[in-house]
Amino acid sequence: MKGDDAKVTVKSDYEKAVAMCEANKGNYAMMAHSTDDQQVKQMFNNMKSDMDKHIQFLNSRLEYLTLNNQLYQDFNN
């Protein structure tokens, strides 16, 4: 069972990482909105776009794990 717990934790870790990226994305959007400096605004908007890429990758990986790992299929049934 110990091995099973480790695999479930991985899924939880991905979910936490997605949540942290979403929070950072919101922070970057707020910072971009809060400045009048166009270079800084662009930097924060670029960082926000980077977070979108991170979130997309993490969600794709999470979906792959959920669909292709027997443990998750057994766990969700």
Per residue in 17-39, pLDDT (tens digit) is: 999 999 999 999 999 999 999 99
pTM more than 0.85 = no
State the DSSP string of the chain.
-HHHHHHHHHHHHHHHHHHHHHHHHHHHHHHHHH---HHHHHHHHHHHHHHHHHHHHHHHHHHHHHHH-HHHHHHH-
What is the model's pLDDT at position 15? 93
Positions in the chain short of pLDDT 50: 1
